[in-house]
Amino acid sequence: MCLFQLCGLVRYMECGPPRVNDKLMRFFDHCEKFLTEVEKNATALYHVEAFKTGPEMQNILKKVAATLQVPVNDLNADLIQVAFFTCSFDLAIKGVNSPWCDVFDIDDAKVLEYLNDLKQYWKRGYGYTINSRSSCTLFQDIFQHLDKAVEQKQRSQPISSPVILQFGHAETLLPLLSLMGYFKDKEPLTAYNYKEQMHRKFRSGHIVPYASNLIFVLYHCENAKTPKEQFRVQMLLNEKVLPLAYSPETVSFYEDLKNHYKDILQSCQTSEECELAKANSTSDEL
C-alpha cells in the first residue's frame, strides 16, 4: 500500500534516504486500545467465527468434501480458506489456474469473499471505532504536508517537498479510508446478513487489492477569482479518481476539504484515542 501526495509537477528532483516511521504507518501496533480491545480480544471477531459455522460456509464444506471425496468432518472453514487463497494467489500473481480453483464455483467465491470482508470490517474497518480513530495521526500528517505546500506557494517560495511517498500495508489504508467515511454501508456487516449485503460498498478486495494506493493531488489555480479557489484537491484510489466521501464531486476546494474533516484534524489525538479506560479501583481499609 502506498500513500502519495503530489503538490506539483516535477521533472527531476533528488530524494533523501528513506525513513522508517512505524509509529506513523503502523499506528495500530502502537495503539494500546486497539491491541487490547480488538487485536488480542478473542471475541472481537465474533461475526467472523460465527459465519464460519453458518449455513453458507457449511454448504461449501459439503460441496468440497464431495468433490474431493473426503469425509466432511475432515474439513473446516480455515482449510477451505487456505484452498481458496491458494487458488486466488496463483491466479492473481502467476496467472496460473490452480487445480484448487476447480473445487469452487462463483457462488462459493462470493461467500468466501464475504468471510474475508467480515474480518477486515471488524478488524480494520467500521466494526470498532478505534480501528479508524487510531489512524488520526497519519491523516493529520498528510494535511500538514499539504498545508506546508500551500503556505510556500502563497509566499511564492519553491515547494520543498513536491512529492511525499509513504509506504505501508492494507492494514494502514483500510482504517484511514474508514476514518474519512469511505465505503460505509447503512447496516454493519454481520454473520447473519450475507444475502442483504450482496451489494455492499465495503469490499476489501476492491478497496485494497495488490499494490493498492491512495493519492492526494494538490492543485494551484493561477486564474482563481478568490483566495479560496486557488487551491483544490483531488484524490485517487488505486489510480482511479475517488469522489469525495460526502459528495459526488471529484475535486474540492482545499479549504472546504479541511473544514469537512475539521474534527479529525483538530480534535482527534491518537494518544487520547488509544488510551485504555482506567478501571475503577477500590481498596479495603482496616
Domains and CATH numbers, the chain: 22-274 (3.40.50.1240)
The answer on pLDDT for 5 being more than 90 is: no
CA distance 138 to 136: 5
Amino acid at 230: Q
How would you classify the pairing of strands 163-167 and 2-6?
antiparallel
Total-model pTM: 0.90
Residue 191 · residue 28 · CB < 8 Å: no
* Spatial contact of 79 and 61, defined as CB atoms under 8 Å apart: no
DSSP H helices in 229-273: 254-260, 262-267, 270-273
Does residue 78 register a pLDDT over 80?
A: yes
Residue 18 pLDDT grade (very low, low, confident, very high; cuts 50, 70, 90)? confident
Tens digits of residue pLDDT in 246-279: 999 999 999 999 999 999 999 999 999 999 987 6
Q: What angle do CA 118, 122, 123 make, to 5 degrees?
A: 110
List C-alpha distances in Å: 27 to 31, 36, 51, 52, 222. 6, 14, 29, 29, 38
Q: In the predicted model, what is the mean pLDDT of residues 224-247?
A: 95
Residues 70 and 233: their CA atoms lie apart, in Å, by 56
User: In 3-state terms, what secondary structure has residue 56?
Assistant: helix
How high does pLDDT run on average in the chain?
91
What is the spatial distance between Cα 133 and Cα 264, in angstroms, rounded to a whole number?
Answer: 9
pLDDT computed for residue 11 by the predictor: 41
pLDDT value at 66 more than 70: yes
CA distances, 13 to each of 6, 10, 16, 163 (Å): 13, 7, 10, 9
Q: How confident is the model at residue 283 (pLDDT cuts 50, 70, 90)?
A: very low
- Phi-psi region for residue 183, left (φ > 0), alpha (ψ -120 to 50) or beta? left
Model confidence at 81: pLDDT above 90: yes
Which has the higher per-residue pLDDT, 280 or 9? 280
Cell 478568490: give the residue. Answer: 226
Cα 3 to Cα 34: distance, rounded to the nearest angstrom: 22
